Amino acid sequence: MAEIFEQEKKKINFNPKELQRFFYFNSEQIVKDVTQGFQDFSANPKLTIQPNFHSMSRIDQIKLSGETLKEINSYKDQKYNYNTSLGKMIGEFQFPFVIPSGVHQMMFIPTIKYLGTEEQQKKWLPRIYSYEIVGCYCQTELGHGSDVQSLETTAEYDVSTQEFVINSPSLTSTKWWVGELGVWANHALVFAQLHIKGKKHGVHPILVQIRDLKTHQPLPGIVVGDIGPKVGYNVKDNGFIRFNNIRVPRENMLMKYSKVSKDGLFTQRGNPKIAYAGMLETRLGISCLFHRSLGRALAIGVRYSLFRKQFKTSDGVERQVIDYQTQQEKLFIPLADSYAFCASSSQIMSRFAEFQKEIEGGDFSNLNEMHIICSGAKAYHTEYPLAHMENIRLSCGGHGFSHYSGLPSIVEGFKPLVTLEGENTIMYLQVARFLIKGLTATLKGAERVPSSIQYLKAGLDFVETKLEADTISQILDLDVLKKILVVNATYQIKNVGMKMQKLSLEGKTNQQIWDTLIGIQLVDAAKAHMLYYTFINFYQQIVTNDYLSENSKTILKQLCRLFAIAKINEKPHGLIESGFINPSQISLLKQAQHSLYPSIREQALGLVDAFGFKDEQLRSALSISDGKVYETLLDWAKNQNPLNESYFAPGYENIQKMGQITPKPLL
């Protein structure tokens, strides 16, 4: 059946290599490195995961993940060492589990780089890169997660010994959910309430050794372990830890911006929020890398929908599932989103590189906006992909329920991302707070408004107008869609701002307003902003990247249109309430959405092949490149399933013994 894919490839009218570059941050070098990496990993049996992986116990899976990390870090003269961004990127796509050093690399190391002094970095980083020190990011507690300021773990400074004394004063102060803590880590960056001479100085990170470097046994006063199986991420050893009078040298507090002198004097420079710079980079990684797992799900879903045939047409020919409009909607909206998130990620990464140079030069003026961009993208780039992945799994019918489809592990592996490193609702509320402040500044005519919300000035004029569009072709104009999204975001931000003002005049406190009266509207406003922000990034990436041919730009513009229109149709209430659009235009928007499906259908295989994933990264019988879907399913079930190694399955003897029991008569 491989000829099906060959026939589909003949329909492709753009260069998939151009879109692969678009997918990987517009970088030819990254495409080259990732392509070579996929080939190298696939050629190594120790780095190719077999279909029986999901029949293994959790303990055996964790053991395999450790063996895999060791192999990666020694393979090809350490070319793909997990200290490199390339190694992390290949590993994310190659394995159905997270590599043990993910937190060590993405949170522990960046925090030390951002917050550690030059002397501390020279002292610790060589040992960290060599894995002599394996670290974790010890912030979340049993009783507090997103509310960092309410963390209960304490670090009392003892002036007489120049040490911090770390304690877990309550049950709820137990550190919880900490990745790499349960099994692997021997050090932890512990975020604790700093107390000096009876005075509190907020939450600060302190490097604490928690296990013996030779025996790996917990040190005296440390109670540590794994928190147990979860929904997804079961290979990740999320752990708990409690501290009982653990003494740590003063020099182990990260002191680039906050310092404690020998005699207990606390000083601070720069923006206090820089303390969360490590988390900022983690959110950047989540928002700009991990959503690409949606591309894997799409590659499986689209290829299987091209292969699978169900129900005959009037001339007796079975129809490809992908030719049903309902199936197209399940696949093409996620496809549009995937490209939109990739384009927006490229913009965000470029902005973050500029931001890093700014803070290195002591300029913290854009820290808050960068924090909001990363937080908003983290929420937006995980909420939609997770929903899409599950819908893609469902679109594959019964076979999508099998681990051999590759889809359940993608869904399960992605689920934690909507919660970890910032629960998404909290992220949206942080964005909303930024938007309300930005709206106030815009209304007051402030000279400097953050670049990401400068559209509000034009938006405040647009909301007083009506949409002039009477045909589908007018609706599909990208500049018209841009205006619609500006109005959608501006109206919702303005509307919730006015409601806040009204409630305040009625005597409601800010806490009442935010917590119990307008939280849902604030989240909606934040999502409307992120929709516009993602769209405009997508649009600009299409227009400004000169390596894209006209045919590539044409299909990308179709996806950009679908991204915008599908989101508008999903939640048009702001546009309706504002009076900017009328009922007939709502109907036009729906028609416009459906009109995009046929052109995307013709290019669907090329659009997912452009992601560059091979069989070894997809790990799916449903998308196998030789087209032998059913043969592969039967082979894996028959020959890769331990239950079929014997016709006398373990436990069956109990069924046999039941025959010796005289059954009670049914009443």
pLDDT of residue 233: 83
Question: Quick one: three-class SS letters along 164-213?
Answer: EEEECCCHHHCEEEECCCCCCCCEEEEEEEEEECCEEEEEEEEEEECECC
287-312 residue pLDDT tens: 888 888 999 999 999 999 999 999 98
Lowest mean pLDDT among 206-210, 383-387, 575-579, 641-645: 641-645
Give residue 361's pLDDT band: very low, low, confident or very high (50, 70, 90).
confident
- Indicate whether 256 belongs to any domain: yes
Q: Which strand (E) or helix (H) includes residue 266?
A: strand 266-268
- For this structure, is 421 an active site residue? yes
- pLDDT at residue 457 in the model: 95
- Predicted local confidence at residue 613, as pLDDT: 93
pLDDT computed for residue 184 by the predictor:
95
Per the domain annotation, does 437 fall within a domain? yes
**pLDDT (tens digit per residue) in 406-453:** 999 999 989 999 988 889 999 999 999 999 999 999 999 998 999 999
- What is the model's pLDDT at position 315? 87
Could you read off the pLDDT of 45-82 as tens digits, one per residue?
Answer: 888 888 888 899 999 999 999 999 899 888 888 888 87
| Cα–Cα dist 514/521, whole Å | 10
- Average pLDDT of the chain, as a whole number: 93
The predicted-structure confidence for 152-194, as pLDDT tens digits, reads as follows 999 999 999 999 999 999 999 999 999 999 999 999 999 999 9
Mean pLDDT along residues 335-347: 97
What DSSP state is assigned to residue 107?
I
The number of distinct structural domains making up the chain is 2
**276 has pLDDT over 70:** no
Name the pTM for this structure.
0.92
Per-residue confidence band for 344, with pLDDT thresholds at 50, 70 and 90: very high
Domain boundary among 575, 595, 615: 595
Tokens of 264: 């207990």
Which of 231-245, 268-282, 494-508 is predicted least confidently?
A: 268-282
**CA–CA separation, 73 vs 84, rounded Å?**
10
Stretch among 106-110, 321-325, 576-580 having the lowest mean pLDDT: 106-110
pLDDT, average across residues 563-579: 96
Q: What is the CATH number of the domain that holds 222?
A: 2.40.110.10
The domain in which residue 249 lies consists of 131-269
The answer to whether residue 306 sits within a structural domain is: no
Q: What is the pLDDT of residue 80?
A: 85
Q: How far apart are CA 174 and CA 166, in angstroms?
A: 12
Binding site, annotated residues for FAD: 140, 179
Letter string b/e over residues 145-180, b meaning 16 or more CB atoms within 10 A of that residue's CB: beebeebbbbbbbeeeeebbbbbbeeeebbbbbbbb
Does residue 15 belong to any structural domain of this protein? no
Q: What pLDDT score does 272 carry?
A: 67
Of 18, 354, 421, 616, catalytic? 421
Return the CATH number at 522.
1.20.140.10
According to DSSP, the β-strands at 154-158 and 187-196 are parallel
* Residue 540: inside a domain: yes
Binding positions are 140, 179
Residue 29 pLDDT > 70, yes or no?
A: yes
Q: How far apart are CA 509 and CA 516, in angstroms?
A: 11
Domain-ending residue, one of 246, 269, 292 = 269
For position 185, what pLDDT does the model report?
97
Q: For residue 260, how many other CB atoms are within 10 A of its CB?
A: 23
CA trace torsion 108, 114, 119, 123 (10° rounding): 20
Q: Is residue 447 part of a domain?
A: yes
Residue 203: strand pairing partners: 193
Q: Write down which residue in 269, 301, 334 finishes a domain.
A: 269
